Amino acid sequence: MSWKLSTALAGAFIASGCAAAQAANEADTEQVAEGSSRELTCEYPVKVDDSAESLIARYGEQARLGQYWGEAEEFFVLTIWPDDPSRTLEIVYRTEERKEVRSVGAGPESRWTIKGLPRGASVERIEEVNGASFAMFGFEWDMHGRIVDFNGGTLADLGGCRAKLSMDYRELGEDEGDLNREELMGDIVIPSTAPAMRSGDIQLSYLALQFGEDPELEGFDPEDY
């Protein structure tokens, strides 16, 4: 099937799943209080075998198909709750048939957490939850701040998926000076224990769950760095 479902087929999914979509959205709203965080797990609100068709049936108009190009590959996606920034999720599929979930990522303004980790979490807080240090790619290139090794910690295995996290540096105010970040830049791998990571301005900027192998890290070996 082409990546672009016909209008009639998508409409049929939405119509047939209207009641289920309403129930799913009401259940999510009841699960957490307004303004609080939502915990993202390997089973909720999306599982690895949730096809685009099944999610459209479940969430109706709150599930929208999409497609875009990254640095070197095409991404086949479905976004749920696109009109609610506090809980927007982007589901990336392995193929254009959209049957097997590759990752589930939280929107930039969402309140989703992983193991209690929210966007903005510090290096120290991530280490605490992980139970170990971690390593990330340097900043200012394609893999900007991506965590590549959890050193056997809990975030590497969440029971069917693993955390996919990226870090960024906080924008400093005019009166905060200019920290030297040169040693954190470029195609390098940096341990979270490095002194430059302890400045207090490095924080979690992106969180997602990864199911199975991650093509973005294909061929990556920490020993090469």
Tens of pLDDT along 158-170? 999 999 999 998 7
Q: In this structure, is residue 26 part of a structural domain?
A: yes
Domains in the chain: how many in total? Answer: 2
Q: What pLDDT sits at residue 22?
A: 53
> pTM for the complete prediction?
0.79
Same domain, 23 and 94: yes
Residues 6+ positions from 217 with CB-CB distance below 8 Å: 148
At 207, the amino acid letter reads: L
In three-state secondary structure terms, 63 is strand
Calculated CA dihedral for residues 41, 129, 89, 109, nearest 10 degrees: 150
Cβ-contact 144, 70 below 8 angstroms: no
What is the pLDDT at residue 67?
Answer: 73
Please state, in angstroms and rounded to a whole number, the distance separating the CA atoms of residues 11 and 221: 45
Residue 77 shares a structural domain with residue 144: no
Q: Crossing angle of helices 52-59/18-31, nearest 10°?
A: 80
Q: What is the pLDDT, as a whole number, of residue 184?
A: 83
CA–CA separation, 211 and 34 (whole Å): 29
pLDDT at 142: 77
Q: Which structural domain range is residue 124 located in?
A: 117-213
Residue 219: inside a domain: no
pLDDT value at residue 180: 59
**What is the structure's pLDDT at 187?**
83
Query: Which residue stretches of the chain have pLDDT < 70?
Result: 1-37, 69-73, 171-181, 218-225
Q: Are residues 133 and 184 in the same domain?
A: yes
Count the neighbouring beta carbons within 10 Å of the beta carbon of residue 211.
Answer: 21
| In a shared domain, residues 137 and 122 | yes
